[in-house]
Amino acid sequence: MSAASHAAPPTTPRPAGTLPSWWPLAALTLLAAALRLSTLDLQSFWYDEAFTPVHVLHASLSATLRGVVHTENSPPLWYLIEWADSRVLGDGEVALRLPSALAGTATVPVAWMIGRELAGRRAAILAAALVACNPLFVWYSQEARVYALFVLMAALAMMFFARAERDPTRANLAAFSLSASLALLTHYFAVFLLIPMALWLLLAPHRRGSGDRRAVLAALAAPTVVGLALVPLISAQGGLGTQWIGRLPLAHRLEAIPHYYLTGYSGAPLGHGVELLVALAIGAGLALGLWRLSGAPAAPVAGTLRTAGGNAEPRRSQVEHGALLALLLAASGILAPVVLAAFGADYLAPRNLVAAMVPLTALIAVILAAPATGRTGAALGGCIALAFLALSLDVNFSPRLQRGNWREVAHVLRGGAPDRAITTVQLGSAPLEYYVHGLRNLPRGRTVTVSEIDETGYAPLRASAGRAPAPGFHLLERRNVDGLIVYRFVSSIPRTVAEATLRRHVITNAHPEVLVPAGL
């Protein structure tokens, strides 16, 4: 009886009228859901989003999978979810974005559990708050593409990795194996996060015996098989649609990585001043945490201390260990693609690194929420979360921070003549095909007889913009739709125009596309 009483001390009942311990998690999850779901249809589809329903999703699953092989450069899991979603809810903006919004919302409790595994309750609250409000995570939670699901699966893999590292039971290792396999089936860049997890489980914990190592090897079998099974798909896809990456200067892409995290994917118009303010708050918090931790007395045993209020407070050794794990994963997820790009395997699009921002967020949360930082660290963490929240909300009110408004451009064009041609930039072709039904690309070398020519694009415009694209046409209307420019030219009689003439007269220097109604 004495032994049992020491093993299971009585718990103090919660006083009447007080909130349960999990209320911050519920509040942050609701906030994340509100940020993501309430404005899910505010912005129109941009090129990548519209490309999926126009060119990839088909009525049959087999045709959709063929589309993934021949038109995409990602593993199939997200497209399977989108196909099932479109069969049930249709291919509208809300329907196709809903899986991403749900994945982004679900990432918040996962971030909570990551913070709790690494450094206790305070780190859990801050990690969940940063993930809920960060404009980069909110942006991709409202995009009908793979990235929000990638973030969720990578976060799940990190959470189960942290659990398996602490307690390598069969259940924890099996959960890590499953989540790692799903992460690989979501995005190829998951491998840069999973490799250090696998090596750590195999090599770092020297305290384990050969039996534990065999259990780890068994857990790694499934993601290894999944990775090998994806090799033929990678070869068949052949990097489709990634040629644009190498055409952008590497220095610009490297600069975009911290910019994306600090002010979001679309935060460039805000200027470097806002970016610097957020960076200073994060830097000050990290500097304070590291300084306080370096001066704090070391605890002889890893674990937690119980405070008078009953909350678990992590020891310094646990905080340091959690920070080390988060740093290892963030560094590998970000630096490994950079190194590969330097050696010629250049697939370094900053958005492919979005899942690596989960361990980076966990690192910030662990250090700022360490007991050694006290109220100052908590205050800085709160300021960072509020800054992220303000930036996320600003996107909803500032068209300059939103995706190009191709939906409104299509609305302007709907009143045009049925026999017309539309010239646009490449990034406008899929959205216009999505919003203006019945359009198709005009093959090269063809001619078309039309009574209206519409030109669409964005600044900077060519000097010839506004001039008649062909003899007999005159300018009817010029519209500026949140930065997208529309010129409408009409002729009193239908006239035959060559595809090459239309393509040469696109109003911007971007790659041109010519669209015509399918009946022409």
User: What is the pTM assigned to this prediction?
Assistant: 0.91
User: CA 117, CA 306: separation in Å to the nearest integer?
Assistant: 16
Residue 205's pLDDT is what? 55
Measured from the Cβ of residue 215, the count of other Cβ atoms closer than 10 Å reads 19
Give the SS3 label for residue 212: helix
Burial class of residue 373, CB neighbours in 10 A (0-12, 13-18, 19+)? buried
Asked if residue 490 has pLDDT above 90, the reply is: yes
Per mean pLDDT, which range of 76-80, 155-159, 514-518 is the poorest? 514-518
pLDDT category at 4 given cuts 50, 70, 90 is very low
Interacting residues of 224 by C-beta distance below 8 A, sequence separation 6+: none
Asked if residue 303 has pLDDT above 50, the reply is: no
Report the pLDDT averaged over residues 502-510: 89
Residue 300's pLDDT is what? 43
Residue 419's pLDDT is what? 92
pLDDT category at 387 given cuts 50, 70, 90 is very high
Residue indicated by tokens 């994060």: 282
- pLDDT averaged over every residue in the chain: 89
Residue 295's pLDDT is what? 72
User: CA 280, CA 287: separation in Å to the nearest integer?
Assistant: 10
What percent of the chain lies above the pLDDT cut of 70? Answer: 91
- In our burial notation (b when 16+ CB lie closer than 10 A, e otherwise), range 487-499 reads bbbbbeeebebeb
Q: Which helix (H) or strand (E) holds 268?
A: none
Q: Do 148 and 392 form a contact (C-beta atoms < 8 A)?
A: no
What percent of the chain lies above the pLDDT cut of 90? Answer: 74
H helical segments located in 56-145: 61-71, 77-89, 93-119, 121-133, 135-141
Burial class of residue 80, CB neighbours in 10 A (0-12, 13-18, 19+)? middle
User: CA 455, CA 478: separation in Å to the nearest integer?
Assistant: 10
Residue 312's pLDDT is what? 55
Residue 47's pLDDT is what? 94
What does each C-alpha distance from 408 to 48, 165, 435 come to in angstroms?
18, 51, 9
Residue 22's pLDDT is what? 81
Q: What is the pLDDT of residues 236-282, one digit of tens each?
A: 988 767 777 878 889 999 999 999 999 999 999 999 999 999 999 99
Interacting residues of 29 by C-beta distance below 8 A, sequence separation 6+: 105, 108, 109, 128, 132
How far the first Cα of the chain sits from its last, in Å, is 89
User: CA 282, CA 269: separation in Å to the nearest integer?
Assistant: 21
What does each C-alpha distance from 6 to 9, 10, 14, 367, 411 come to in angstroms?
6, 9, 21, 33, 72
User: CA 432, CA 441: separation in Å to the nearest integer?
Assistant: 11
Residue 306's pLDDT is what? 41
Interacting residues of 454 by C-beta distance below 8 A, sequence separation 6+: 413, 416, 420, 421, 422, 423, 486, 487, 488, 489
Residue indicated by tokens 């979810």: 81
Residue 46's pLDDT is what? 95
Residue indicated by tokens 């859990």: 124
Report the pLDDT averaged over residues 125-145: 97
Measured from the Cβ of residue 97, the count of other Cβ atoms closer than 10 Å reads 25
Degrees, nearest 5: CA angle 140-281-316: 95
Per mean pLDDT, which range of 6-15, 39-48, 334-343 is the poorest? 6-15
Report the pLDDT averaged over residues 397-419: 92
Asked if residue 305 has pLDDT above 50, the reply is: no
Higher pLDDT among residues 22 and 270, named by residue: 270
Q: What's the longest Cα–Cα distance across the chain?
A: 100
Report the pLDDT averaged over residues 225-240: 90
H helical segments located in 296-419: 316-342, 357-368, 374-397, 406-413
Q: What is the pLDDT of residues 181-221, one digit of tens each?
A: 999 999 999 999 999 999 999 887 555 555 678 889 999 99
Residue 197's pLDDT is what? 96
Report the pLDDT averaged over residues 359-372: 94
Residue 344's pLDDT is what? 85
Give me 327's structure tokens. 């740093």
Residue 309's pLDDT is what? 38
Measured from the Cβ of residue 253, the count of other Cβ atoms closer than 10 Å reads 19
Asked if residue 321 has pLDDT above 60, the reply is: yes
Give me 310's structure tokens. 């009953």
**58: number of CA atoms within 13 Å, CB side?**
12
Give me 43's structure tokens. 């912005």
pLDDT category at 144 given cuts 50, 70, 90 is very high
Asked if residue 180 has pLDDT above 90, the reply is: yes
